[in-house]
Structure 1
Amino acid sequence: MTEVQNNQRDRQRQQIKVPTYPFTAIIGQEEMKLALILNVIDPRIGGVMIMGDRGTGKSTTVRALAELLPEVPSVADCTFGCNPHKTTEMCPSCRERVAAGEDLPTVYRNTKVVDLPLGATEDRVCGTIDIQKALAEGVKAFEPGLLAQANRGFLYVDEVNLLDDHLVDVLLDSAASGVNVVEREGISIRHPARFVLVGSGNPEEGELRPQLLDRFGLHAQIRTLRDAQKRVDIIRSRSEFDNSPELFIDKFEAPQKELQAKVIKAQELLTDVTISDDVLLKIAQLCIELEIDGHRGELVLARAAKALAAFEGRTEVIDEDVRRIAVLGLRHRLRKDPLATMDNGRRVQEKVVEILGAEKAGA
């Protein structure tokens, strides 16, 4: 099967509407759900890495996120779904149309959650250029890839720790820059690729290299629930969904709409949220004490704390916001110590208690 056929098949799969397990029906795993919601509120946080046991609902939760995402204005006839109100985020074609004085046709579309298959090639991810057509007709014949489909949405990679490091690097570079560049035989194509990267995996199958792991904004650690009643509730809920998806989804329509409205309100409030120098100093001290390399840790904590404050309906970050997101933002940035007797989450918690005076850190 050619790359073009693969890309067409991917788009067809995205268009097929299948019942999705409601986000608000997911039992437990609060850390993972909070990390995803914060990235919806502020995509600049830098995505989420979700690591945990098999069968703990990682993929189900990420795919359920799609039903919560608000509709976004898009250029109706643009391959990349450009934002008609932000020239800086447009593809070259849309910018040229705006410069020529054209009114771009606008539609509202659902924010996408695009799945990246484990065996995907770089051409399938980034897109391909038809060299023969380009040389014969003098046009840049470009077949968009998964990065184009995910523009202004989420790109989900299950078993990301099994993905080729080079491909992970490509994904992280595009997610950070917001641009995808495809070059073939001296022909270059650039298009917007602003998406939130979400990866999941089982640590038993291997970890990402620290250099790559550090570039994910938040790191959620998922464990199998040990509460017997919650496990019974999961069995009953899943059985109910499998037997009658429509009725089950209808039962959660109200909480779904309530959470979606809360997220949209938080997005609107985010620009008004402030963070004091005192809180920033505590964040910086936390990173210094934990010997975090670079400055991504501080930036992520500041952004995530502001997103959490907006989610809670406040316009000022407080210490409690930092306590709740510290482990999510820092556990994967700590240097690995093979002789350590505690996991990185506990190391972060203890330092949070020391600096912020909290009784308990974490979501």
Structure 2
Amino acid sequence: MSQPFPFSAIVGQDEMKLAILVATVDASIGGVLVFGDRGTGKSTAVRALAALLPKMRAVVGCPYQCDPADGAPCCAQCAAGKATLKSHLVPVPVVDMPLGATEDRVVGALDLERALTRGEKAFEPGLLARANRGFLYIDEVNLLEDHLVDLLIDVAASGENLVEREGLSVRHPARFVIVGSGNPEEGELRPQLLDRFGLSVEVTTPTDLPTRVEVVRRRDAYERDRDAFVAHWKKHDDKLRKKIVAARERLPGVKVPDGVVEQAARLCMALGTDGLRGELTLIRAARALAAFDGDDAVSDAHLRRIAPPALRHRLRRDPLDDAGSGARVDRAVEDLFGN
């Protein structure tokens, strides 16, 4: 298996990298939606994430990578014998969901081989089982079929997958961060799924010469000698991995002053976001960003940095305003916080 392009070696696209790292520090923020031109590093960044993430502890032999810790959600089999279960460290799963995936492949189905050869009814876990406690990557997410969109919404809301078919009834944990990418020119995302993404970023083709040259130079070096290129960037990725681990440990202790909560609410009111999910996501993301930066409390500076990805996909369309949603968020941030 070839080694993915190192996360630290990705040139530019700072907002995309920041959103992915923040979602990695606190999975409760929700998924990350990456929209933009083809060939701008969207899928490269997600696949690089797999090599960057610190390993997690899971039950040996469990197809759902259940967490052995007390109180952690787990499947029925692990719950029955949790006191005697063995555990080991495994890589955090980053699972690709192909655009043409069938529902059976996504949720799981009857294991036909065992049914035909042994006459046994057994469950064959799907992509949602493999993605539990990790990341589910959907390329061209805006082209996903409606019935799969509905399914993902239900699972993302409940944190578990329920399969009832062919005489089987299986329920297992399915808690994962959805990372979706796509090109807005090929179709819009359904509002119900769009709202499930905690952060949304827009990536564009670099317009300055030095950046374009550096992108080409690094990609060419990677293609010519992948092992040497990955080895060269290993120290940078290791440093970033330690920073993620430290941020996760620091996260529960990061304070959110009342004044920061009020500023978040003022910003969302100024933008006219529906419901309170905008404020909640903004606060969670700002707290994770503060933890990643090594700070003990959230400040207005954290809100300013994370507001565009947390809010731009939550705005209603304004027929009297030609500016894009990102520009509207930037303008509201400037009005509230000043220069």
Please give the secondary structure, in 2, of the residue aligned with 1:78: coil
**TM-score, reference length from structure 2:** 0.96
Q: Give the alignment partner of residue 268 of structure 2, picking from 287, 297, 320.
A: 287
Rate the CA distance shift 1:87–1:142 in 2: closer, same or farther, 3 A.
Answer: farther
Once residues 25 and 154 of structure 2 are traced to their aligned partners in structure 1, the CA distance between those partners, rounded to angstroms, is: 21
Alignment check: 8 A CA contact 2:67 2:74 kept: yes
The alpha-carbon deviation at position 138 of structure 1 amounts to 10
Partner residue, 1:108: 89
Say whether residues 1:20 and 2:4 are aligned partners. yes
Alignment check: 8 A CA contact 1:39 1:47 kept: yes
Q: Give the alignment partner of residue 195 of structure 2, picking from 190, 210, 214.
A: 214
Once residues 31 and 161 of structure 1 are traced to their aligned partners in structure 2, the CA distance between those partners, rounded to angstroms, is: 21
Partner residue, 2:232: 251
Please give the secondary structure, in 1, of the residue aligned with 2:200: strand
Say whether residues 1:355 and 2:336 are aligned partners. yes
Deviations 1:56-93 (A, max 9, x none): 01000110011110100100111111101144411111
Rate the CA distance shift 1:294–1:331 in 2: closer, same or farther, 3 A.
Answer: same
- Residue type at the aligned position of 1:24: S
What is the identity percentage for the equivalent residue pairs of Structure 1 and Structure 2?
53
Q: Give the alignment partner of residue 50 of structure 1, picking from 25, 31, 34.
A: 34
Once residues 37 and 318 of structure 1 are traced to their aligned partners in structure 2, the CA distance between those partners, rounded to angstroms, is: 19
Show structure 1 runs of 5+ residues with no match. 1-16
Please give the secondary structure, in 2, of the residue aligned with 1:310: helix
Please give the secondary structure, in 2, of the residue aligned with 1:217: strand
Partner residue, 2:122: 141
Alignment check: 8 A CA contact 2:123 2:168 kept: no
The alpha-carbon deviation at position 188 of structure 1 amounts to 2.0
Say whether residues 1:313 and 2:294 are aligned partners. yes
Once residues 122 and 254 of structure 2 are traced to their aligned partners in structure 1, the CA distance between those partners, rounded to angstroms, is: 44
**TM-score, reference length from structure 1:** 0.89
Say whether residues 1:328 and 2:309 are aligned partners. yes
- Residue type at the aligned position of 1:234: V
Instruction: Report the count of equivalent residues.
Output: 339
Q: Give the alignment partner of residue 297 of structure 1, picking from 261, 274, 278.
A: 278
Q: Give the alignment partner of residue 276 of structure 1, picking from 250, 253, 257.
A: 257
Deviation beyond 4 Å, 4+ runs, structure 1: 130-134, 137-140
Alignment check: 8 A CA contact 1:266 1:311 kept: yes
The alpha-carbon deviation at position 94 of structure 1 amounts to 0.4
Deviations 1:195-248 (A, max 9, x none): 110000000001102222111100010011001111011111111000000111
1:229-248 aligned within 5 A: 229-248=210-229
Partner residue, 1:180: 161
Show structure 2 runs of 5+ residues with no match. none
Once residues 66 and 54 of structure 1 are traced to their aligned partners in structure 2, the CA distance between those partners, rounded to angstroms, is: 21
Once residues 323 and 307 of structure 1 are traced to their aligned partners in structure 2, the CA distance between those partners, rounded to angstroms, is: 14
Q: Give the alignment partner of residue 78 of structure 1, picking from 59, 62, 76.
A: 62
Rate the CA distance shift 1:122–1:280 in 2: closer, same or farther, 3 A.
Answer: same
